[in-house]
Chain A
Amino acid sequence: MEKRIGILVVLSLMLACNDNSSPTPVEDLFELKDNQAIGIEFSNDLSYSSDFNVYKYRNFYNGGGVAIGDINNDGLADVFLTANQGPNRLFLNEGNWQFKDITETAGVGGQRAWSTGVAMADVNADGLLDIYVCNSGDVAGDNKENELYINQGNLQFKEQAADYNLNDKGFSTHASFFDYDKDGDLDVYILNNSFQAIGSFNLRKNERPVRDELGGDKLMQNQGGRFVDVSEQAGIYGSVIGFGLGVTIGDVNNDHWEDIFVSNDFFERDYLYINQQDGTFKEDLTNEMQSISGASMGADMADINNDGYQDIFVTEMLPSDYQRLKTVTTFEDWDRYQLNVNNGYHHQFTRNVLHLNRGNNTFSEVSRLAGIEASDWSWGALFFDMDNDGYKDLFIANGIYKDLTDQDYLQYIANESVIQSIVTNQGVNYKELIDIIPSNKVANHAYKNNGNLEFREYTHSGLLTPSFSNGAAYGDLDNDGDLDLVVNNVNMPCFVYENRHAQGNYIKLRLVGKGANTFAIGSKIKVSAGQQAWVVENQPARGFQSSMDPAIVVGVGAAKQVDIEVTWPDGQVTTLADAPTNQAITIEASSAQPEAAEPATASPFSFRQLTPGLNYRHKENAYIDFNRERLVYHGHSNEGPRVAAGDVNGDGITDLLMPGPKGMSCMLYLSEKDGTLTAKEITAVSADAEYVAAHLFDADQDGDLDAYLASGGVEITEYSALLQDQILFNDGRGNFANPKQVFPNEQRMSTLAVDSEDIDGDGDLDLFVGERIKIGRYGAKCSGYILENDGSGNFRDVTASYYPGLKDIGMITDARWSDLNGDKRPDLVVVGEFMEVNILVNEGKQFTKVDLPFPNAGMWNVLQLSDLDGDQDLDILLGNLGANSRFEASAEHPMRLYYSDFDQNGSPECILTFNAPNGQDYPYVLRHNLTSQLPYLKKKYPDFQSFKNADITQIFDEAQLKQASVLDVNELNSVWLRNMGNNQFEKQLLPLSAQFSPVYAIASIDVDKDQDLDLLLGGNLFKVQPEVGMYDASYGQCLINDGQGHFTDRSVALGFSVTGEIRDIKIIGEKIYVFRNNEEAVTYQINYD
């Protein structure tokens, strides 16, 4: 600590001296130590032969792990590294960055073959850390028993795995010690990778519940010092399809019982086991997580947003580098993805995932929003506060010694060599086959957590070293109160990083447990300072095959003193008030007090889901957009229902009209006085049309509400009469007669947006109707129509005279009439996909578009008009794609859609691009998907290498690009536009949680009865190509307004949580109806105490 202060003083002096000079270059946070100088010389060297290689052993390049812990209780953390083919090594910390290799004398080099994961834990409860090493065996598949080195207290260890029944013979990857049954001793979860070859699996067969006696994951209960397999009775899967690469333990539901997350490689989904507090677990992943990572590797669990709940990060293999994405990556297609889903493997995607814990047994996957979804072939991920600023940063060890998925290797290079060797050797020479696989180092990733779920590449971390890295562990190796890092590498020396410049304050804790759990594994530490709080769980096994220093360092930013609360595994609590920061404190469990029950502060109002609610289920027909339009990423056959509310039978109560998707009738739900609703089928229009929106208005001035039904989607041919929108006239009692021709001419187009208003002051209601999409030609421009009512429900197209700009304006999704500027004339707002926000001011005989002084070309799904800031004019709420997608767009770097019939075969293509820092547009689409649509490009790009740098101007020639229509998007956030009066608007972002997923439904309601409008939002989109990944991170949002238009998400606290694709929210009286695509509607009521 003294040393630390010294550094700070020197730094501040330096800063002071440099005040008037040029800024000093920023020094890297971590410094890579010279292995030889510090005495940690270790390299996990791998050599392959024709007999033993990655083809014969699929985990050949998974690498080794790292364990950090003080094995001799001298206050200095020691380092243990595992090797696959050589001996493991133990390095004794002698202080001052001097380590001594004591492997031989300690007797921990290992007798077994292919060591993988390592855990340090006091297995025999003598206060000394023991070392448990997982082994995966030799070429013959033998010699793979795990080893347990019991610490003898004299820098010597004795291998006693068999005595403890921990000599597991599976393909062990890792193990994690914890006390799942709270009997005071440490049990262990052993993570085993399946023996079975991957090519031989049949996805249809559900092998998950069948235990594999040899391999298979195991939960071992400590029964008086001997470990007994209790997996089956505890409800732990251990099948041949378990490809576990990570076991991550922590309390995800804050019940103080430790839960288990298992990340599985390949096709098997991950597992989330919730501790039932009775010795059993409930595997609950599919109920709590919507999207998960495909080939899951390592994982870590930590509270990354300081909300007190443990979040989970899982690594995968998606490259962050564009060139690598274009040469080593393939994505599953829709059919394959559906096959996985239908066979019980859940929604898996090729990317890292960040499961943000919502605190109500659900998670939102926000990796794309956080910007950490792609980090190449990634293994060990660790959340730790690198700079002690109070936010846990992220380190990802990545790299693979051979680029096994290099597409050129796979398609064009390997087989020619295979053929030759088959011909010459009567068999495949695997060594030669592997020799020619490219080998490329990839820089490890470090992300600085800026709070607000914003992770940015930590440029000055000093950790971005190109390497082939696998396991990693952190620990305070020099006792200066910040965390240092050790990384195990394949075929290169391990990295030992000294943390040199962590600026924030810290508190360091050593926990002394009670009874057999001497290191108090499973304790929860809460450190707080004012409004800030940091929660850490004491669980050393993390990341990939690795084990962290049991001494806990909590970065607390600027806090000078903190309150510390340790909840011990037995539930008792030790508190320490006003502890000065920047010190190490040892806390003993014997000091603990029984937990004081915290009085729960209940909200005076909450949402209650009504069951039964509205008995309405929307059902989509089976249609796969991507079979027809392969370059389109989002489906458009699933857009409804947009429900209309109004009193159709004149009884003074609001009724509901639901548009019927293809295969389902339109339905009328008539409200009774007692609040119940009675369903009535509308037979006047065909159930074969895809009605996506309903609108109620008095078309013929007879005093009742008539129905406008918008026929949309893309599953009906563009020539079908079913595409014609319909107006059904009301007989005044809620009976809708057969439609009659009311439009100037047939409009066979796919529509979605419709709204009515008297735009010309003649007393009748005129219409705006927006064309949504050209069927089969996504990207083609669509038109909006202003239709003037003759007073009796006949309409005339007057678009050209009012606003000719509506022709070919874009893919319209929503529109509203309303007076925005107080001149009593209804103005028009029109939005759409790849469209600007068109605010059209009614000048009487024509409309003028408002020029908005900020980027506003979006993927707008929905708009709503409400007065959000209480200034008596209407503000504009706009639902967009959100920030949690693979797509990026800004004014400087817009996303673009190039639309043209590039190969002139009569069927246009749309190519979506992003704008790189070099200003060029690069396609999102991968080579094989692009060339399947434009085969001639295969000649230009005969292999993947040739395509990896091709921007749009190289792919297409000038003439082709000149013919293409180019649509820009420069704003992806959902926003609201504050109406400043005078046709001036100001853009405001909706809160971060509203950016988790596309927004498709917006309703305003004063939830907290404070006389301002709060918001209910809904969204998600599931019909999305797997390479982009479904949008499912929204559970609906209840955003509470402070009266000024500042919103706080209180959904979970208030109990508003809905899964699925929400398409509309309608409020009638006290009831809130949430309409979902292809699912039951959900009914809520707000209860006020």
Chain B
Amino acid sequence: MRSITWWIMLLSLLGVSCQKDYLTQAEIRENLQQSELFLRSVENLTDIQVHDIFSPPVASRVYVYPCVAAYEAIRPAYPENESFANRLSGLTPLNIQADTAVVSFDLAAIYVFNEVGKQFIFSEEKMVDWQAEVDSIINTWQVNPRVIQGSKDYAAQVGQFIMAWAREDNYNQTRTMPKFSVTDDPSRWKPTPPAYIEGIEPNWNKIRTLVIDSAAQFRPPPPPAFDLTEGSTFGKLIKEVYDVGNNLDDEQRLIASFWDCNPFVMHQTGHVMFATKKITPGGHWMGITGVACRKANASLMESVKAHSMVSIGLFDAFISCWDEKYRSSLIRPETLINEKIDPDWLPTLQTPPFPEHTSGHSVISTAAAVILTELFGDNFEFVDVVETKYGLPERHFNSFMEASREAAISRLYGGIHYRTAIEDGVKQGRQVGDYITRRLLSSD
């Protein structure tokens, strides 16, 4: 790409181009590929999410609609990729006439991703800044202004189409549904120290699923019977969290914090507080998708497809998981350990503000890994650099499944989940991931 740019610059300098030579569709495609504008747009969306603070399930929604929009926008240029219409609930075929003379579907994918993303985040000025940067980059490419405009117009139409579909997903309705109510039931989840935040998204199972037929389609087994007597199944599970937490080795401690993915950790000293913010579990897997795309040198189309499928997997996996969380509404180990074993015990990670069963990270990581394995193959080695900007180290994995297994068990090391929530969560995530790959990759 550098050679092309030089060539163009040279031509202009020499005044050779008395009549402008605009980039062809193929050259635009090549520039987009080289400039990684799509991957960088996903990263930009992640950064804004971190700033604006989205809970993990809501964050998955912020990813999925821009990704699907990009996919539906670019797909017509690559007919071998079938539309998601009629495969995702409520999504009808995109019925937009695009004049291929003035529309670059590839460019439009970038435009629509950012434009739809802007609808879901709050700090719009940050997105506007990024869109301006995208424009200035593209402006150095000698793209026919009519193509830029045509692609933007097309992207705007796709964006409106996708937003109309997104608005029907019950998100607004769930805002005013009842809060989680705290009761005296000893097995029932209650807010945890230090911030005692209310249960996040108790009605997330009312959100429209995209591929799975309902929130409860892959309903996991309930948690073991609540029984605090020593030696009972549940008693042993509590004790295990306590013992594991007290005997972490350095590697386990590293694994716990590597996969923490808590978007808002509150630190309090007296009246003064500060929060550290990180990307969500879903954001981490979107990042891994980007890592995989780079490593595999995936085309723009392939990148968009991979991100779309992973984001769909995350979205449905969160709904599936949250459905069970507020069905079983199980109390966190920190609460029980403080009550029954050791009032001073603190988990390695801050307990997130929602019920315990099943482990969200286990469900969504497994679902994402299943989809990525399907797309990039098993034994796909990669170096996870996703959270280096948040101060975490790089980490090497031999496969997506290995990474997802580690993410899952990290919640035990972190002291925030019982083993059953992890094991049942992994199974639940595999079912969701398998189902989604089957439904989205099969040809009708």
Contact = CB atoms under 8 A, between A and B. Distances in A.
Contacts of A5: none
B273 A336 contact: no
A422 interface: yes
B176 A909 contact: yes
B273 A423 contact: no
A338 B190 CA distance: 11
A58 B272 contact: yes
A410 B273 contact: yes
Contacts of B53: 411
Interface in A315-350: 317, 333, 335-336, 338-339
Contacts of B346: 200
A905 interface: yes
Interface stretch (B177-185, B372-380, B420-428): B177-185
Contacts of A202: 193, 338, 343-344
A121 to B, nearest CB: 30
Contacts of B182: 335, 338-339
A624 B181 contact: yes
Interface string B270-314: 111111110000000000000000000000000000000000000
Given A204-B338, A418-B276, A628-B178, A58 B271 contact: yes
A849 interface: no
A58 B269 contact: yes
B172 interface: yes
Nearest to B389: A423
A602 interface: no
B122 A204 contact: no
A197 B172 CA distance: 40
Contact of A404 (B190, B194, B271): B271
B191 A335 contact: yes
B339 to A, nearest CB: 7
A415 B277 contact: yes
A901 to B, nearest CB: 9
A56 interface: yes
B406 interface: no
A424 to B, nearest CB: 9
Contact of B172 (A411, A423, A903): A903
A905 B176 contact: yes
A58 B276 CA distance: 19
A939 interface: yes
B122 A939 contact: yes
Nearest to A941: B122
Contacts of B198: 333, 335
Interface in A12-58: 54-56, 58
Interface stretch (A547-555, A928-936, A1054-1062): A928-936
Interface in B380-412: 389-391
Given A199-B194, A202-B193, A205-B343, A907 B271 contact: no
A681 B122 CA distance: 57
Interface string B20-59: 0000000000000000000000000000000111000000
A410 B275 contact: yes
A906 interface: yes
B175 A935 contact: yes
A902 to B, nearest CB: 11
Contact of A627 (B179, B184, B190, B269): B179
A56 B269 contact: yes
Contact of B175 (A58, A932, A939): A932
B176 A622 contact: no
A622 B182 CA distance: 10
A984 interface: no
Nearest to B345: A202
Contacts of A59: 270
Interface in A412-437: 412, 414-416, 418-419, 422-423, 433
Nearest to B180: A627
Given A415-B277, A627-B181, A54 B176 contact: no
Contacts of A707: none
A415 B266 CA distance: 10
B232 interface: no
A335 B344 CA distance: 22
Interface string B334-371: 00001100011010000000000000000000000000
B271 to A, nearest CB: 5
Contacts of A627: 178-181
Interface string A937-949: 0110010000000
Contacts of B190: 335, 339
A630 interface: yes
Given A906-B173, A909-B176, A419 B391 contact: yes
A906 B343 CA distance: 45
B391 A412 contact: no
A55 B274 CA distance: 9
Contacts of A55: 269, 272, 274
B268 interface: yes
A906 B176 CA distance: 9
B179 to A, nearest CB: 4
A55 B183 CA distance: 35
A566 interface: no
A198 B269 contact: yes
A455 interface: no
Interface string A888-909: 0000000000000001111101
Interface string A389-415: 000000000000010110000111011
A911 to B, nearest CB: 13
B276 A415 contact: yes
Contact of A197 (B180, B269, B339, B389): B269
Contacts of B51: 412, 416
Interface string B153-176: 000000000000000000011011
A292 interface: no
Contacts of A402: 272
B135 interface: no
B183 A405 contact: no
B123 interface: yes
A616 interface: no
B229 to A, nearest CB: 21
A622 B183 contact: yes
B124 interface: yes
Contacts of A743: none
A18 to B, nearest CB: 50
A1052 B172 CA distance: 53
A295 interface: yes
Interface in A627-651: 627-628, 630
A943 B340 CA distance: 41
A123 to B, nearest CB: 32
A942 B124 contact: yes
Contacts of B194: 199
Contact of B273 (A205, A405, A422, A942): A405
A487 B389 CA distance: 47
Contact of B272 (A54, A201, A412, A422): A54
Nearest to A422: B391
Nearest to A630: B179
B226 interface: no
B438 interface: no
B68 to A, nearest CB: 20
Contacts of B271: 58, 265, 295, 317, 404-405
Contacts of B173: 905-907
Given A419-B391, A423-B389, 10 more contacts: A199-B194, A202-B344, A203-B196, A411-B53, A423-B390, A626-B179, A630-B176, A938-B52, A938-B122, A942-B124
26 contacts: A54-B270, A55-B272, A198-B269, A199-B194, A199-B267, A199-B268, A202-B343, A203-B193, A203-B196, A266-B270, A335-B182, A335-B196, A339-B196, A404-B272, A404-B273, A405-B273, A411-B53, A411-B275, A414-B275, A415-B275, A419-B277, A624-B179, A626-B179, A903-B172, A907-B173, A935-B175
Q: Nearest 6 pairs between A and B by C-beta? A: A58-B270, A907-B176, A905-B172, A627-B179, A422-B391, A199-B268
